[in-house]
Amino acid sequence: MNKYESVIIINPNVEENTLNELTERFSTLINSDGKVEQVNNLGKKKLAYEVKKNKEGYYVVLDFEANPNLIAELERNYRITDEVIKFIVIKK
């Protein structure tokens, strides 16, 4: 298993409980074929440039171990989730 870090920017208009549900959903997906080591909710921050007509976003950082085949599925889930406005997954 490899170590990864994923940064997700979530729409600033979502409520706190929706934000927690999204974080829990992505953590559960990662735990199905890996292990989440740490979840950091950095809160609402100003974006460097507008993304999908948003000037702010909630930042969530996930540190985890997973098999490489899980990354494609994780990114697919990010893409189909309307609340996620930007994401990146990097190998540490």
Go through the domains of the chain in sequence order and give each one's CATH number.
2-91 (3.30.70.60)
- Averaged pLDDT of the chain: 94
Q: Which residues pair with 59 in a beta bridge?
A: 9, 43
Are 43 and 8 contacting, i.e. CB atoms less than 8 angstroms apart?
Answer: no
What's the pLDDT at 1? Answer: 87
Are 81 and 10 contacting, i.e. CB atoms less than 8 angstroms apart?
Answer: no
Interval 23-29 mean pLDDT: 95
- Which distant-in-sequence residues (6+ apart) come within 8 Å of 31 by Cβ? none
What's the pLDDT at 9? Answer: 96
Which CA distances in Å does 41 have to 44, 53, 58, 60, 71?
A: 9, 22, 8, 5, 21
- Per-residue pLDDT tens digits for 69-88: 999 999 999 999 999 999 99
- Per-residue pLDDT tens digits for 49-68: 999 999 999 999 999 999 99
Q: What is the distance between the alpha carbons of residues 64 and 54, in angstroms, rounded to a whole number?
A: 28
